[in-house]
């Protein structure tokens, strides 16, 4: 065989599959679904542990904005820490287990490590959960993805994760 023929028959690398990053609205729908599917059971557990009156106390947000309700009916810090810890454990477990919370599964999206596109390690997922609070406080953090090609929000950028579409 001639060199020219060999040169043109070079082994071609397998075609790269294009990563389809999740759009903004499916992410919102997944998050809203998770608020009910994960948030309600955790709220019920908190209510069973700390009593019905705990559900009527001021929230941490009321304390931050100096709402008068926070002065007359302050939140129980142990109940708040317990509730946040339950959210953290639940979200991180779902994200690590298969990359999807129930809401993300319904929206056909998945949380992955941005560099490998595989399940992210626990430390990145914990950082992502903490990043949710920064995105919530600024509100702009959730909308950053609208202006990026890879659709990553602030909490994704902080943690090195991405949300992709799955069939």
Give the model confidence (pLDDT) of 83-115 as tens digits: 999 999 999 999 999 999 999 999 999 999 999
Of the ranges 51-55, 76-80, 155-159, the best mean pLDDT one:
155-159
The most distant pair of C-alpha atoms in the chain lies apart, rounded to whole Å, by 89
For residue 149, give Cα distances in angstroms to 23, 115, 145. Answer: 10, 15, 8
pLDDT tens for 50-67 read: 887 777 777 766 776 777
H-assigned helices in the chain: 3-8, 24-37, 39-50, 60-64, 68-72, 77-98, 102-107, 122-138, 140-143, 154-159
At 27-58, the pLDDT tens digits run 999 999 999 999 999 989 999 998 877 777 77
pLDDT of residue 61: 66
pLDDT at residue number 57: 79
Higher pLDDT, 129 or 15: 129
Is residue 95 in a domain? yes
Whether residue 5 is contained in a domain is answered as no
Q: Residue 107, Cβ neighbours under 10 Å: how many?
A: 25
Asked, for residue 9, whether it belongs to a domain, the answer is no
Provide the residue range defining the domain that includes 38.
Answer: 19-165
What pLDDT shows up at residue 167?
85
User: Is residue 4 over pLDDT 70?
Assistant: no
Count of the separate structural domains present in the chain: 1
| Residue 3 forms part of a structural domain | no
- Which pair of structure tokens corresponds to residue 164? 């992709």
Distance CA(132)–CA(49), nearest Å, equals 26
The pTM for the full model equals 0.82
104 within a domain of the structure (yes/no) = yes
């Amino acid at each position: 065989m001639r060199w020219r023929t060999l040169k043109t028959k070079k082994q071609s690398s397998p075609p790269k599959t294009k990563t389809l990053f999740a759009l903004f609205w499916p992410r919102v729908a997944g998050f809203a679904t998770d608020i009910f599917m994960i948030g309600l059971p955790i709220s019920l557990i908190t209510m069973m542990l700390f009593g019905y009156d705990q559900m009527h106390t001021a929230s941490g947000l009321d304390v931050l904005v100096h709402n008068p309700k926070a002065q007359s009916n302050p939140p129980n810090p142990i109940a708040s820490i317990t509730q946040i810890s339950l959210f953290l454990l639940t979200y991180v477990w779902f994200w690590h287990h298969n990359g999807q919370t129930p809401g993300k599964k319904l929206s056909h999206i998945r949380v992955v490590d941005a560099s490998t596109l595989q399940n992210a390690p626990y430390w990145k997922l914990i950082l992502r959960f903490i990043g949710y609070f920064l995105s919530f406080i600024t509100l702009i953090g959730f909308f950053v993805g609208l202006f990026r090609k890879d659709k990553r929000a602030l909490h994704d950028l902080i943690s090195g994760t991405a949300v992709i579409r799955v069939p």
